[in-house]
Amino acid sequence: MATLTPVRPELEPGRGDAPRPGRKKTGTRRSLVRSVPLLPAIVLLAIFLLGPVISSFYGSLTDASLTGATAQSSSFVGFDNYVELFADPDFPKSVVLTLIFLIASAIVGQNVLGLGLAILMRSSNKIVRAMVGTFVVTAWVLPEIVAAFAAYAFFNDTGTINSVLALIGIEGPNWLYALPMLSVILANIWRGTAFSMLVYAAALQDVPTEITESAEVDGATGWQRLVYITLPVIRRSISTNLMLTTLQTLSVFTLIFVMTGGGPGTNSSTLPVLAYQEAFQFGKLGFGTAIATILLLVGAAFSLVYIRALKPEVD
Amino acid at 149: F
One symbol per residue from 161 to 200: x for binding other proteins (CB under 8 A), - otherwise; what is it? -------------x-xx-----------------------
User: Of 72, 123, 125, 209, which lies in the binding site for other proteins, with binding defined by CB under 8 A?
Assistant: 72
The verdict on 44 binding other proteins (CB under 8 A) reads no
Least CB distance to other proteins at residue 240 (A): 15
CA-CA distance, 247 to 297, in Å (whole number)?
11
Q: Which residues, 237 to 266, sit near other proteins by CB under 8 A?
A: 247-248, 250-251, 253, 261, 263-266
* Interacting residues of 291 by C-beta distance below 8 A, sequence separation 6+: 85, 91, 94, 271, 274, 275, 278
CA-CA distance, 267 to 281, in Å (whole number)?
17
CA-CA distance, 186 to 180, in Å (whole number)?
10
- CA angle at 209 for the pair 205 and 211, rounded to the nearest 5°: 125
User: Of 11, 42, 43, 71, which lies in the binding site for other proteins, with binding defined by CB under 8 A?
Assistant: 71
Closest CA to 260 of 249, 247, 272, 250: 272
Burial 242-275 (b: 16+ CB within 10 A, else e): bbbbbeebbebbbbbbbbbebeeebebbbbbbbb
The verdict on 74 binding other proteins (CB under 8 A) reads no
Least CB distance to other proteins at residue 52 (A): 5
Least CB distance to other proteins at residue 34 (A): 27
* Interacting residues of 79 by C-beta distance below 8 A, sequence separation 6+: 61
* Number of residues binding to other proteins, judged by CB under 8 A: 48
Least CB distance to other proteins at residue 58 (A): 12
Amino acid at 203: A
Q: Which residues, 88 to 127, sit near other proteins by CB under 8 A?
A: 89
The verdict on 300 binding other proteins (CB under 8 A) reads yes
The verdict on 78 binding other proteins (CB under 8 A) reads no
Residues that bind other proteins (CB under 8 A): 49, 52-53, 55-56, 66-72, 84, 89, 157, 174, 176-177, 247-248, 250-251, 253, 261, 263-267, 272, 275-277, 279-284, 288-289, 292-293, 295-296, 299-300, 303
